[in-house]
Amino acid sequence: MKNIEMVCNEAVEWIKEKVNNAGAKGIVLGMSGGIDSAVVAALVKRAFPDNSFCVTMPCYSNPIDEQHAKLAADAIGMEMKTVVLNEAFDTMKKLVGAKDTDPKLAIANIKSRLRMITLYYYAGSNNYLVAGTGNRSELTIGYFTKYGDGGSDMLPIASFVKKEVRALAEYLGVPDIIITKPPTAGLWEDQSDEIEMGMTYEQLDNYILTGEGIEDVKCKVDMMNKRSEHKRVPIPTFVPSEKQ
């Protein structure tokens, strides 16, 4: 980015506009302990210093994630609530009859959707909007949970690939340990974004920004983009021919 200060100022004004246009009062977001949520929180805090807070929602999570979430919130000066979702997760698995043989991601995504429910409770209680934390790299290949972390009212960093998010984080004062740690969705122990995606963020970012890359990466990104299109578009609506 040529002028990161200008970009951040524009993002802050954009967030204010979205909230004001909705007749809302402020913003709530989930704080995972990762770089994306820390950057969004920093922008939100600038837009609504008195009407914003974040929520960390551990669900059989690595304790370091909650520690990093608090570290980020303290660095930004944002209020943080903690809602432990272990019991809700166990109850939900019992209610749907989840089994150990079920697909791993189907079970793990319950966590992400419970977090969405939690955020929208707080949004509804305060007349706030929910800020999403998805970046361009992950949105391009559908690396998010539909109606989970993909559920939000706005996406402040959706135009930025991962390396640009890192630049924003440095400018906004996000702690170095959060900027440099390996990215993870935190849905299970030792999960790694790059291992799960089958490519590095550097490879993904480069292909998105330049159209260049090794053939395997280009093919994989194109395939993932196509298969995840349903996550990025409005819900398809059937219209009979007589109403067209």
What pLDDT was estimated at residue 2? 83
pLDDT exceeds cutoff 70 at 22: yes
pLDDT exceeds cutoff 90 at 183: no
Token pair 């809302």 is at which residue?
Answer: 24
What pLDDT was estimated at residue 243? 82
Who wins on pLDDT, 111 or 183? 111
Average pLDDT of the chain to the nearest whole number: 95
CA 227/CA 219 separation, integer angstroms: 12
What pLDDT was estimated at residue 25? 98
What pLDDT was estimated at residue 149? 95
Q: Which amino acid is at 201?
A: Y
| Joined tokens for residue 96 | 């749907």
Q: Quick: pLDDT tens for 201-225.
A: 999 999 999 999 999 999 999 999 9
| Joined tokens for residue 211 | 């159209």
Residues 6+ apart with CB under 8 A from 112: 145, 148, 149, 185, 187
pLDDT exceeds cutoff 80 at 244: no
What pLDDT was estimated at residue 135? 97
Q: Quick: pLDDT tens for 81-134.
A: 999 999 999 999 999 999 989 999 999 999 999 999 999 999 999 999 999 999
SS (H, E, C) the chain: CCCHHHHHHHHHHHHHHHHHHCCCCEEEEECCCCHHHHHHHHHHHHHCCCCEEEEECCCCCCHHHHHHHHHHHHHHCCCEEECCCHHHHHHHHHHHCCCCCCCHHHHHHHHHHHHHHHHHHHHHHHCEEEECCCCHHHHHHCCCCCCCCCCCCECCCCCCCHHHHHHHHHHHCCCHHHHHCCCCCCCCCCCCHHHHHCCCHHHHHHHHHHCCCCHHHHHHHHHHHHHCHHHHCCCCCCCCHHHC
Cα distances from 42 to residues 27, 63, 117, 238, in angstroms, run: 12, 22, 23, 41
pTM of the model: 0.94
**Annotated domain spans of the chain:** 4-243
CA 30/CA 82 separation, integer angstroms: 10
What pLDDT was estimated at residue 36? 97
What pLDDT was estimated at residue 56? 98
Pairing of strands 52-56, 26-30: parallel
pLDDT exceeds cutoff 70 at 186: no
> What integer is the mean pLDDT of 69-91?
97
pLDDT-based confidence at residue 182 (cuts at 50, 70, 90): confident
Token pair 């159209």 is at which residue?
Answer: 211
Q: Is 84 exposed, middle or buried (0-12, 13-18, 19+ CB in 10 A)?
A: middle
Residues identified as active-site: 36, 138
pLDDT exceeds cutoff 70 at 156: yes
Instruction: Domain 4-243: give its CATH code.
Output: 3.40.50.620
> What integer is the mean pLDDT of 41-49?
98
> What integer is the mean pLDDT of 154-182?
96
